[in-house]
């Protein structure tokens, strides 16, 4: 049944304009006229919860524009009938698998023509924006003469996250409307801004509450709204010599975050503005060709794939979350941050520990996190109110979910469970955040082992989206589904995985980090080892990652996995045990392989002369990850190759532009991967033996 404005926005229909009539001829739009002669065009993409710009929708919009050209209303208002927001962007699914830039350019050219016609309408046009206005949606809004934002509106160009830049005229209209340095920064980073910031930039002309929209629209259409107009600085910064100077600075900044060879889109955008920013028509035309050339790159196609992997993993969460109260045991780095994140997502959280100091530290970190991610002080206060210190562990009795996050010691965890189980109410989920201990070992002392499952978060909890949802052969299936729904409710991505040492992610990461230790034993500079991983596309190298995770945890996980997989893992150097014994644990103690200051590793640059990164170094680090992922598939630890790639990207930051370790192997060629692994066996030993799963992997 087609939704109406009344269905979606309730009583606010009176502020939006009249309900559409039954004679409305459009599938994705509702076009009506109010008593002032103003046309109201409501985006309402058929069968979707959010508006996206697809080829069929743009074709219909072209017909709407023709009707408006003939009708010549007093003004035009463009709104969304979706509660989710204005327009969430283009339907990128239409470009998956694109290989011919000429085909893409032709398609994008048709879309350009529609947006250009909208802009050329000879009536006052106003975009009224609530919720998300992103990518192509913002380009539609920019084609209107005026923009009115509702308080909750958010604006951005996230195309760079897909290996692209705006492609419907946004590069031109945005840089000519607001300070081009600020416009380019938004497009180069993909960051979103709120309505107030958009007003300050001059992106929107007014910010209004929903109840005042009707009056604001009339003011806009009848010339009473003071419009935001580009000032002389915008003109100055768009001059050729100035563009050249600023573009060089932009490239230098972009290179720090996104190397050109891996992520071409930022540099294509900078080139586009630098070379064509002074000529509107020329830049509009060049934008189409640049966008089309980016679309067919492996980077864009892999990043689009990653976008859909995220959507696929969101669906694994399902719906119907029943968890309202979370009790976390262990207020260390992981437990405290898990508790803070749950409180941030509107959960009531009790946080227990044997000592008061870790709880105090966790509350302090939570306050810092809330200050960074919440704009309103009242929201920060409310989140802290939901995070309740609980030295006596009273929260156990009322909790819907208990998350144990104590150190990786089997006996300690079992002792905690013995004290918990008699106090838990029926139906409560008992979850462990263990990173490596099989649940089959943890469950042995439980009276009701079917309630035990794993919820393995990754560090830092606030940034890494993955949570491994771990089951053993006796886990209650209904509780597993409730756990996945909980993960979705706290805005995280669940990975269903069967219990096995290291599960998926740590099992794949351990050979990566231990091989780096072996390379240190070979007297390879730790900075060079990290540089090899970064050159491949990892967010940080394995040495820095080990410091970030904690050398004690790395050692525990390595020992646990070696007891299971033996010769398939590199040996643990004796000096690593000595570092741990001395308390040099990495970031959390201020010293590990690197010295850490203000949460960052202090690194001197590599000397300009001397050894350099080699392909062999990169292969030694990254191919064992692909090998483990194939093994996990073959063993049934995980059951979907695409989800494996998503897990490694969202849980470890594995080079997104490569599409994940299995996609990388597929792209490189399975035969090449296996041949390379066999060559590494001959030189370095049996730990590089290709898994039997490669024989059937496609």
- Show which residues are catalytic: 90, 136, 139, 159
270/267 Cα distance (integer angstroms): 5
Radius of gyration of the chain (CA): 28
**Which CB contacts under 8 angstroms, 24+ apart, belong to 89-93?**
89/52, 89/53, 89/134, 89/135, 89/136, 89/137, 89/158, 89/159, 90/52, 90/53, 90/54, 90/135, 90/136, 90/167, 90/168, 91/52, 91/53, 91/54, 91/55, 91/57, 92/162, 92/304, 92/307, 93/308
Q: Are 483 and 469 in contact (CB under 8 A)?
A: yes
666/671 Cα distance (integer angstroms): 9
14: tokens are 């009176």
Tell whether the torsion through CA atoms of 96, 99, 103 and 109 is positive or negative.
positive
Q: Are strands 401-404 and 387-389 parallel, antiparallel or unpaired?
A: unpaired
Phi and psi of 35, rounded to 5°?
-70, -15
Strand partners, 430: 402, 452
Residue 584: CB atoms within 10 A of its CB come to 18
Residues whose CB falls within 8 Å of the CB of residue 421, separated by 6 or more in sequence, listed in order: 430, 446, 447, 448
Residue 94: CB atoms within 10 A of its CB come to 15
100: tokens are 């011919």
Helices (H), ranges, 570-669: 574-581, 615-635, 641-652, 661-668
Q: Are 455 and 483 in contact (CB under 8 A)?
A: yes
427: tokens are 């139906």
600: tokens are 């960052």
Residue 262: CB atoms within 10 A of its CB come to 16
Q: Tell me 685's DSSP state.
A: -
89/91 Cα distance (integer angstroms): 7
- Note the Cα 61 to chain centre separation in Å: 31
User: 3-class DSSP state for residue 608?
Assistant: coil
User: 3-class DSSP state for residue 39?
Assistant: strand
Tell me the longest C-alpha to C-alpha distance in the chain.
83
Cis omega before residue 460 (within 30°)? yes
Residue carrying the six token digits 């930039």: 201
231, 171, 222, 244: which is closest to 201 by C-alpha? Answer: 231
Q: Are 329 and 353 in contact (CB under 8 A)?
A: yes
């Amino acid at each position: 049944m087609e939704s109406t404005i009344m269905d979606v926005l309730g009583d606010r229909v009176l502020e939006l304009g009249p309900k559409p009539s039954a004679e409305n001829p459009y599938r994705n739009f509702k076009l009506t006229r109010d008593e002032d002669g103003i046309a109201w065009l409501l985006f309402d993409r058929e069968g979707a919860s959010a508006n996206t710009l697809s080829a069929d929708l743009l074709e219909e919009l072209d017909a709407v524009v023709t009707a408006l050209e003939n009708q010549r209303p007093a003004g035009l208002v463009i709104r969304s009938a979706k509660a989710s927001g204005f327009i969430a962007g283009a339907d990128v699914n239409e470009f998956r698998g694109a290989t011919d830039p000429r085909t893409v350019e032709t398609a994008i050219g048709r879309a350009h023509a529609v947006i250009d016609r909208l802009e050329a309408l000879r009536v006052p046009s106003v975009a009224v924006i609530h919720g998300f206005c992103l990518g192509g949606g913002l380009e539609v809004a920019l084609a209107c003469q005026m923009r009115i934002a509702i308080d909750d509106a958010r604006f951005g160009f996230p195309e760079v996250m897909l290996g692209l830049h705006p492609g419907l005229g946004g590069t031109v209209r945005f840089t000519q409307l607001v300070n081009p340095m600020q416009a380019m920064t938004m497009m180069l980073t993909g960051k979103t801004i709120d309505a107030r910031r958009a007003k300050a930039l001059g992106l929107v002309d007014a910010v209004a509450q929903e109840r005042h929209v009707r009056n604001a629209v009339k003011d806009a259409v009848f010339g009473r709204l003071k419009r935001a107009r580009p000032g002389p600085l915008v003109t100055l910064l768009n001059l050729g010599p100035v563009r050249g100077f600023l573009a060089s600075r932009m490239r230098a900044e972009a290179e720090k975050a996104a190397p050109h060879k891996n992520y071409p889109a930022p540099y294509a955008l900078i080139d586009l503005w630098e070379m064509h920013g002074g000529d509107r028509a020329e830049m509009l035309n060049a934008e189409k060709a640049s966008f089309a050339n980016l679309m067919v790159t492996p980077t864009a196609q892999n990043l689009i794939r990653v976008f859909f992997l995220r959507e696929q993993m969101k669906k694994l969460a399902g719906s119907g979350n029943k968890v309202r109260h979370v009790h976390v045991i262990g207020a260390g780095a992981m437990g405290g941050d898990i508790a803070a994140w749950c409180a941030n997502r509107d959960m009531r959280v009790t946080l227990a520990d044997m000592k008061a100091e870790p709880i105090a530290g966790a509350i302090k970190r939570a306050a810092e996190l809330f200050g960074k991610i919440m704009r309103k002080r009242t929201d920060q206060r409310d989140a802290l109110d939901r995070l309740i210190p609980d030295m006596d562990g009273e929260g156990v009795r009322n909790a819907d979910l208990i998350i144990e996050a104590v150190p990786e010691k089997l006996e300690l965890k079992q002792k905690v469970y013995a004290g918990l189980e008699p106090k838990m109410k029926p139906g409560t989920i008992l979850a462990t955040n263990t990173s490596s201990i099989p649940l089959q070992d943890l469950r042995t002392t439980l009276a009701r082992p079917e309630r035990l499952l794993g919820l393995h978060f990754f560090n830092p909890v606030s940034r890494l989206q993955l949570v491994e949802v771990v089951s053993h052969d006796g886990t209650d299936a209904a509780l597993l589904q409730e756990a996945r729904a909980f993960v979705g409710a706290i805005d995280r991505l669940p990975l269903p995985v069967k219990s096995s040492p290291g599960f998926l992610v740590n099992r794949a990461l351990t050979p990566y980090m231990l091989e780096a230790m072996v390379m240190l034993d070979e007297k390879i500079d730790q900075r060079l080892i990290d540089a090899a991983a970064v050159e491949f596309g990892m967010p940080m190298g394995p040495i820095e990652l080990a410091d970030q995770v904690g050398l004690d945890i790395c050692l525990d996980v390595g020992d646990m996995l070696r007891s299971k997989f033996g010769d398939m893992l590199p040996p643990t150097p004796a000096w690593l045990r000595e570092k741990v014994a001395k308390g040099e644990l990495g970031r959390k103690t201020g010293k590990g392989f690197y010295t850490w200051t203000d949460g960052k590793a202090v690194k001197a640059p590599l000397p300009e002369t001397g050894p350099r990164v080699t392909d062999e170094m990169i292969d030694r680090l990254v191919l064992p990850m692909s090998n483990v992922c194939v093994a996990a598939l073959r063993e049934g630890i995980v059951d979907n190759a695409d989800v494996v790639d998503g897990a490694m990207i969202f849980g470890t930051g594995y080079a997104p532009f490569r599409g994940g370790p299995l996609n990388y192997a597929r792209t490189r060629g399975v035969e090449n991967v296996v041949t390379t692994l066999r060559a590494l066996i001959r030189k370095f030993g049996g730990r590089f033996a290709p898994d039997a799963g490669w024989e059937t992997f496609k």
